[in-house]
Amino acid sequence: MSITPENLGDLSRRTLLRLAGAAGLLATLAAGLLSACAGSEPSKSDDTGAAKSKDNPFGVKDGSAVKVVIFNGGLGDQWAKEDKVVFNAKHPNITVNMSSTQKIKTEEQPKMATQPSDLVMNSGADMMDRSTLINEGAIEPLDDLLTAPAWDSEGTVADSLLPGTVGDGTQNGKFYVVNVAYTVWGNWYNAALFKKEGWQAPTTWDEFFALAPKIKAKGMAPYVHDAVHGYYPRWGLMASIWKTAGKQVVVDIDNLKENAWKADGVLKALEPWEKLVKDRLLLPGKLDHTQSQQAWLDGKAAFIQVGTWLKNEMSATIPPGFELTLSDYWSNADDKAPKDVFAASGEGFVVPSKAPNKEAAKEFLRAILSKAGSAKFAELTKSLASTKGSGDNVQDSALASANTLMKNGGSELISVKFQDFYADLDKESQNLSEELMAGRLTAQQFVDKMQAAADKVAKDSSIKKQTRTA
């Protein structure tokens, strides 16, 4: 699940940094493909498809059908139905068979080797492992999508995307995953409640721990989180490590560098989370994502850490006058990157290698990433799409708080890659994050166990290693 500022000018410093990692890839692709895809070259055709043109760069054939599977999670699926309208306005003679589910791996992975769907949104707790799909050749590289003309704007599809989207979907030097949402993570609170009580939203851990007794005095828990899905608490833990220890330490962790988990700053970053648990500042109970979010909306806790899909996911039960407001993860004194914000593209689409209509799948992706489609996405989900300008005309206070956070952020966007690189390390990190937040591990034990898990992967010659450079 995954937001960016409505004013891209505010991201100029961040844009340059995040796009730098993808520059080599895009330059190579552009040299051979850009003029043919984006210009006004003569139409081309092949034996299986229709004539190729700027409006039909993949040669999608009239009369064909494309099967699209949507993950119906926190963002719902109405936005995807709007993309179907956008697509059929340009291709009225192509049938879009769209279905929605939360059981992506259960329902789609068994079909990947035989007769898969054409386009699959791989997201949620039951998502397919990305590295496995790539290493087994189960999904199609989509580099030609990047160099294709944008659906309804100048330039290429790559030109239309927000910083980091290309890099987030790239592995082994190829672009495989089209992330359509852009998420900001942090600590949410009810601004109306804080105004009423005269509380100042904390920016540091020290400020939070000073405020916590006042919150408890009102009969509320200071904090709540999803205690069922381990990747939820992991977001906060990894954001803290980046802020305190700095980017290079997280890059080293992703690259399985020896003793990276024991680098200066890692333990310091995790100790406030351990204190939060030991001081009984968490709402009791093993609540999942929607249960913890509802408890927060019901006033049982003051803060919850989650991404910007929150408002859409809980829209039916938000109380009147509740002001959803996003603040950054709290920092420690002397942190190396206290202002860096955890934001990234997410909600990724993949095209199976054996899909019967890959051309139409890529064309549908162009429609999803269009200005029209992405504007509908932002309007309906109250989250930004990974296409530039998607939220320009959306008026929403929750979205505005995320944009303010991005505007005031540091020079980098926090990102973590190891969970995409290594399935076993991903699972172990989720388990250990749950254990830490349940009080069954100390911060030191968490660090030791994560280092051991990383060492095991590093020493296993059967596991293909990935390298992060930016």
Does position 376 have pLDDT exceeding 50, yes or no? yes
Terminus-to-terminus CA distance in the chain, angstroms?
A: 22
Strands (E), 160-307: 170-171, 174-175, 178-190, 221-224, 301-307
pLDDT band for 84, please (50, 70, 90 cuts). Answer: very high
> What confidence score (pLDDT) does residue 312 get?
85
Does position 258 have pLDDT exceeding 90, yes or no? yes
pLDDT tens-digit map of 178-208? 999 988 999 999 999 999 999 999 999 999 9
Per the listing, tokens 């229709």 go with 50
pLDDT band for 389, please (50, 70, 90 cuts). Answer: confident
Does position 371 have pLDDT exceeding 60, yes or no? yes
Does position 414 have pLDDT exceeding 60, yes or no? yes
On average, the pLDDT of the chain sits at: 89
> What confidence score (pLDDT) does residue 403 get?
80
Arithmetic mean of pLDDT, 96-101? 98
Does position 223 have pLDDT exceeding 50, yes or no? yes
Are 330 and 203 a contacting pair, CB within 8 Å? yes
Arithmetic mean of pLDDT, 231-247? 97
Give, in degrees to the nearest 5, the angle at Cα 371 between 366 and 372. Answer: 95
Distances (CA, A) of 31 to 19, 35, 181, 231: 17, 8, 28, 39
Does position 394 have pLDDT exceeding 50, yes or no? yes
Cα torsion angle, 54, 55, 61, 62, sign: negative
Arithmetic mean of pLDDT, 446-458? 98
Arithmetic mean of pLDDT, 309-328? 94
For residue 126, which of 147, 101, 151, 157 has the smallest C-alpha distance? 101
Are 82 and 75 a contacting pair, CB within 8 Å? no
Are 225 and 300 a contacting pair, CB within 8 Å? no
Does position 43 have pLDDT exceeding 60, yes or no? no
